[in-house]
Amino acid sequence: MSKVWKVMETTIAAVALSALGVATSFAQLQPPNIEGLRGAPFATVNPPPDVRSHGEGSEWDARAPDGIEPLPVDLYTSTDFYQDRDLWLDQRYWRCNSPRQTTDMRSGGAGSGTSDPRIGRNPPTSARWGDCEMDWPRENIVSPYPFNNAGDHYSALLADARSRGGPTQHTYESMPKWDGVYGEYLPEGRRIWNYMRANQVPTLLSLLTPDYQQRMVRQLYHEGVNAAHQWSASHCWPEGFMRQWATGPTPTRMVVTPEVVLLVGSGSGNVWRTVHIGREFPLGQGIPQWYGDTIGFWDGDALITMTSNVQAWTQHTSWEFSYELETIEVFTPVHNSAGEFMGIDWEAIIYDSEALVEPVRILWHRNYQQGWDTAGRLGFAECTRRLYPVDGFATQVAPGEVIEYRVPDMFGRPWAQIWEEFFEEGMQRPEDELDLGFD
């Protein structure tokens, strides 16, 4: 059986039209289930809903939708979210807002022709409700594969390739011609679930271990209630490994050789990933890297990789990840009925035994746009600090202006340090949480 995902003609047509900027409906990729190792079918034909940050609802007050009984205490009326743990998995605690809606409570307009944000006119208690019927099923997020760690998964994939005479040893003449520029396939304007717009918060919290549930709740509280966002780009911190699948810097270009495959891009930060073909761990001295160390092999024209040794970090609007994070990624080419290369299906399985109660999966399509020979230059974003952590808020400072601020410990979870110092006086954080540093 071929290891390449089979794609329905409707999907091929949709991808082709998407590359031309034509709006299309979504059709499901149809990969075969290859011995339970990779390519198991996705659970639904519909993409995750893309609920925007603003504009839901029509009222300025904090009234719940019809038929919804509000909780006596929720995120926007609580004085100590730590003490509300029994309520965190109730979507009413979040007023049915997705994580992205929560973090954007104090930014942008509310869709009524005014500049008032969704937090309302009497913040934070006037925060508006989201859609209580909106969610992306948990079973569409968790991994469909029977592995608890990336090492076992990679070994099984490699053994399977060897059983069929592989891995494939490509030369410059035989290897897939993927070099070039890629964009994101957005059916009906929608995005993958990792953008944090598709889910009720409790669905995502259910994926996390108790400590990492608390870390995510803490982040959303301080962003949604206090407007104390500690986004990496604000402070010129690195974006971290998981941001490549979200709204941060994504790999937009590829370079393919027999020895290495490069994934590079630039946005709010830079991505520079090197897949070392045919190598084994360890590649370095065991020092974690922002994008980890990646090894891989070819199975026909599919590229299979494993990444380890990733620097633990935070995510914009999403969960923190630990030093235990590892990934399996499968890059499979998509061709149209004429055999033309249209793009790459990118499947990523995220393993993190410290942060996640079970592995999760991201399915992404990157549509091919043009080769390096016609593309514009690739600029890299060098962060020049304009925002400083003043009284716990990322504050813009004019050149020459004298301010007083303290530089937090870069590797001591600086976002947590800032929140604890400036916004949690009187709160009772559990004593067993080792919160000032990765442990």
**CA trace torsion 334, 5, 143, 156 (10° rounding):** -120
Shared domain for 218 and 318, answered yes or no, is no
**Read out DSSP for 52-82?**
-SS--SS-SS-PPPTT----SS-TTT-S-GG
pLDDT band at 96 (very low <50, low <70, confident <90, very high): very high
Shared domain for 359 and 297, answered yes or no, is yes
Shared domain for 227 and 329, answered yes or no, is no
Which burial class, exposed, middle or buried, applies to 40 when counting CB atoms under 10 A from its CB (0-12, 13-18, 19+)? middle
Say if 121 falls within a structural domain.
Answer: yes
pLDDT band at 32 (very low <50, low <70, confident <90, very high): very low
pTM of the model: 0.85
Summarised one tens digit per residue, pLDDT across range 163-216 is 999 999 999 999 999 999 998 877 766 778 888 988 999 999 999 999 999 999
> Does the structure show a pLDDT above 70 at 27?
no
Say if 2 falls within a structural domain.
Answer: no
Tell me which H or E stretch contains 83.
none
Shared domain for 131 and 143, answered yes or no, is no
Position 57 scores a pLDDT of 46
Tally of domains within the chain: 2
Shared domain for 332 and 225, answered yes or no, is no
Q: What are phi and psi of 255, to 5 degrees?
A: -130, 125
Summarised one tens digit per residue, pLDDT across range 115-153 is 456 788 888 999 989 889 889 889 989 999 999 999 999
d(CA 104, CA 231): 12
Shared domain for 260 and 118, answered yes or no, is no
> Does the structure show a pLDDT above 70 at 356?
yes
Shared domain for 223 and 251, answered yes or no, is no
Amino acid at 72: P
Distance of CA 433 to the CA centre of its chain: 25
Which of the pair, 383 or 92, is modelled with greater confidence? 92
Shared domain for 299 and 362, answered yes or no, is yes
Average pLDDT over residues 1-14: 32
Which burial class, exposed, middle or buried, applies to 13 when counting CB atoms under 10 A from its CB (0-12, 13-18, 19+)? middle
Shared domain for 238 and 148, answered yes or no, is yes
Which of the pair, 24 or 388, is modelled with greater confidence? 388
Show which of 347, 370, 393 is a domain's final residue.
370
User: Mean of the per-residue pLDDT values for the chain?
Assistant: 82
Nearest to 227 by CA among 104, 310, 96: 104
Shared domain for 267 and 303, answered yes or no, is yes
Nearest to 21 by CA among 253, 193, 186: 186
Shared domain for 325 and 204, answered yes or no, is no
Show which of 231, 259, 288 is a domain's final residue.
231
Say if 255 falls within a structural domain.
Answer: yes
- Three-state secondary-structure class, residue 329: strand
Shared domain for 360 and 309, answered yes or no, is yes
Domain assignment of residue 86, given as a range: 81-136+195-231
Summarised one tens digit per residue, pLDDT across range 372-423 is 999 988 877 777 777 777 888 888 777 777 777 777 777 889 999 889 988 9
- Three-state secondary-structure class, residue 213: helix
pLDDT band at 45 (very low <50, low <70, confident <90, very high): very low
